[in-house]
Structure 1
Amino acid sequence: MPFPLEPTLSQVDLPVIDISEFPQDLSQLRDNPLLAKLRKACKEWGFFFLVNHGIPVDLLQKAEDVCRDILSLPTEVKDRAITSNPFNTYSRSPELEAFRYSDPTNPASIEQTCAKIYPEGNPIFCETMTTYVSSVSNLGEKITKIILASLGLDANAFYHSHFDKFASVLRINGFPSDKVSIGEEVLIHHTDLGCVTILYQDDVGGLQIRSVEGEWFNVKPLPHSFVINVGDSLKAWSNGKYRSAEHRVVYNGWRDRISIGFFTFFPDETEIWAPVELVDDENPRRYKPFVFSHFMQEFMADKENNERATAIESFAGV
């Protein structure tokens, strides 16, 4: 079935990055055209498609299938997974429902929630999502290193000194098609607050990205790819060299939509401060140092006040 674009918006052809073209040793890639392409994507959009990522297509499809299964359960069953932890819970509204898993690389995180939903067990769901998370977590390390290399840094050294302790959250999103109207914003416009987001989406579409000029664009799904985007924390750490772009999901009138997001974060007590290698006379320091947990508090306060989360800008200026 063709992808039904919102007629009032143009479609953006996001840059496509083939990760298989990068060698394991990134130390000699500073002037490589592959990095130049990635650098341009991160500066202009903060988003790109990732292909030939090494995660089997059948695993992607199986993950989508088991996520559809759990989202299709009766509401009273899914409600068993509700907790007081906003990063490890089930939540729902007419436009969006989501399962969130904090520390998903620990299999117990998925298994504990699964046990609440399926008292008799569901090894297919647990095994599929545990395998998926392990694969995507490894991919996250590769992507982060390549992004570091594109900034002109020693990728391995900076990864191990700044990023190898990153935390993560897995989020399974369901967008019911029978409860919203065409053109309705079902995931409010926002920026991601972490480092790197690795998003798998089905073929329904609805993702939109805001350009530097403030114009919204439709993003047509690319089969078997991931959508990668830079978060606010990495934007600040890069001294603003890379964008953290606003994005949203708008219902486009086809069928229920599924997405699976893997979000990487700095640990709570990490002080985020652009390294001196990214600061010079032409690029003065743009953000004050801040502790990630403090940034998270600003972010949550914005949400509670029903405002778009712009907490990163409260740390702008030195």
Structure 2
Amino acid sequence: MWREASGTDRAAIAAELDAALGGTGMFLLSGHGVPQVVIDDFRAAAKRFFGLRREVKAQYAIEAAYDGGWLEMHPPGGVGVPVSEDKDAPSAPDLHESFYMGPGHRTGDEQRDRFNYPANRWPVELPELRAAADAYTAHMLRVARSVNELLAITLGLPEDFFTSRARRATWTQNASWYPSYASIGEVARGQFRNGPHTDLGTVTLLCRQQGVGGLQAWTEEDGWFPPPYSPDSFIVNLGDLMELWTDGRWRALKHRVLPPSSAAPDEELLSLVFFFETDPDTLIEPLAAPVGGGRGLPASYARRTVLEKLGVSHDSVRVG
């Protein structure tokens, strides 16, 4: 729709998009050009990985919040991935497993690569997972570039404003499996498949499945609500870095995934989530009004900001 739109229609679309990103921080993206077979192959391969014995998956368990590999649902003394410090966030562990992967960039600087481009840990027992993930992620990089161009145009900036700062961007792709109520049993009070949080990067591309225990978004006006669902569309939501970059004109989407429900005891869901950031050394300087929102947020280096929210100390993160 955007590609074929006239100048007048583009202006109307941009105005609608601007309002949505200022209100909820999300929109539905159709016409993305990702073949359904690529989506299905990645989802099926990820499901096979989650079906492996625990001792097999444990060989690929992440060892730090910025690592690639398997995140166990209830890691015994292991590493979890923190969510935002929101007063609504539950204290009980989230009810999902994830497999994380990232870019294969290498700079030759061991410390920089460790914190910016950690090595992927592909399971040798399931070689098709890497092949399917790589095929899917190639499309995500393409779509993320197009989305960033659209966002720049919506703000009245040069089309390459964001993409020119994302030539060797940090990103994380994960497959997250939400087991059924029948397999988990009773859920603790206040426990979720994924607790309330905002994402850390610039934009997130979410390919989800509809469910009773599915996604909810939050706004100050409406509280929690289920966002629109279309099987042929992705949800695009903004993360903390984009809220910072626009100085609060746009908001990072606060969202959660409901716990498995006894109303649908056999429901399992598997989401494919692409978290895009920017070049790790980018100094994000909030845009001045009237392009920016005028909140007066402080400038910050992109990757340092993300890693500090994951619990990595300030002194560990080298920039420049």
- The verdict on a shared fold, with TM-score over 0.5 as the criterion, is yes
Whole-Å separation in 2 of the counterparts to 1:29 and 1:134: 32
**1:178-215 Cα shifts (integer Å, max 9, x gaps):** 21547841211100110000011123351011112361
Q: Shift of residue 54 of structure 1?
A: 0.7
Change (3 A) 1:202 1:279: closer
Task: Note the 1:26-105 alignment, pairs <5 A.
Answer: 32-87=11-66, 88-94=68-74, 95-103=95-103
Does residue 1:113 correspond to 2:121, yes or no? Answer: yes
Aligned equivalent of 1:185: 192
Task: Say which of 258, 261, 267 aligns to 1:250.
Answer: 258
**1:139-181 Cα shifts (integer Å, max 9, x gaps):** 100011101111111213x134433332111111111112154
TM-score by length of 1: 0.76
**1:261-316 Cα shifts (integer Å, max 9, x gaps):** 11111333321112347558xx53521111224323441249xxxxxxxxxxxxxx
Task: Say which of 170, 174, 193 aligns to 2:173.
Answer: 170
Q: Shift of residue 83 of structure 1?
A: 3.7
Aligned equivalent of 1:260: 272
Change (3 A) 1:297 1:173: same
Whole-Å separation in 1 of the counterparts to 2:10 and 2:102: 37
Aligned equivalent of 1:288: 298
Aligned equivalent of 1:299: 309
Change (3 A) 1:104 1:213: farther
The alignment of Structure 1 onto Structure 2 pairs a total of residues equal to 272
Task: Note the 1:143-162 alignment, pairs <5 A.
Answer: 143-156=147-160, 158-162=161-165
Task: Say which of 197, 203, 217 aligns to 1:196.
Answer: 203
Q: Which amino acid aligns with 1:246?
A: K
Aligned equivalent of 1:316: none
Change (3 A) 1:166 1:175: same
Change (3 A) 1:297 1:133: closer
Whole-Å separation in 2 of the counterparts to 1:42 and 1:104: 31
Task: Say which of 227, 230, 244 aligns to 1:222.
Answer: 230
Contact 1:105 1:133 (8 Å CA) reproduced = no
Indicate the SS of the match to 2:129.
Answer: helix
Contact 1:199 1:259 (8 Å CA) reproduced = yes
Whole-Å separation in 1 of the counterparts to 2:169 and 2:289: 21
Q: Shift of residue 117 of structure 1?
A: 4.3
Q: Which amino acid aligns with 1:245?
A: L
Contact 1:30 1:149 (8 Å CA) reproduced = no
Whole-Å separation in 1 of the counterparts to 2:105 and 2:217: 29
Q: Which amino acid aligns with 2:223?
A: E
Task: Identify which range, 143-152 or 212-221, moves more after superposition.
Answer: 212-221
TM-score by length of 2: 0.76
**1:74-126 Cα shifts (integer Å, max 9, x gaps):** 111111112424331211125111111121689xx999533x341xx52x332
Return the structure number with greater helix share. Answer: 1
Contact 1:30 1:152 (8 Å CA) reproduced = no
Q: Shift of residue 68 of structure 1?
A: 1.1
Contact 2:177 2:270 (8 Å CA) reproduced = yes
Task: For structure 1, list consecutive stretches of 5 or more residues without a partner in the other structure.
Answer: 1-20, 303-318
Change (3 A) 1:166 1:80: same
Aligned equivalent of 2:91: none
Aligned equivalent of 2:82: none
Task: Say which of 268, 275, 282 aligns to 1:270.
Answer: 282
Q: Which amino acid aligns with 2:144?
A: G
Task: Say which of 130, 138, 141 aligns to 2:134.
Answer: 130
Change (3 A) 1:229 1:181: farther
Whole-Å separation in 1 of the counterparts to 2:268 and 2:228: 16
CA RMSD of aligned residues (A): 2.9
Q: Which amino acid aligns with 2:150?
A: I
Does residue 1:23 correspond to 2:3, yes or no? Answer: yes
Q: Which amino acid aligns with 2:147?
A: I
Whole-Å separation in 2 of the counterparts to 1:271 and 1:112: 26
Q: Which amino acid aligns with 1:44?
A: G
Whole-Å separation in 2 of the counterparts to 1:166 and 1:138: 13
Whole-Å separation in 2 of the counterparts to 1:208 and 1:25: 31
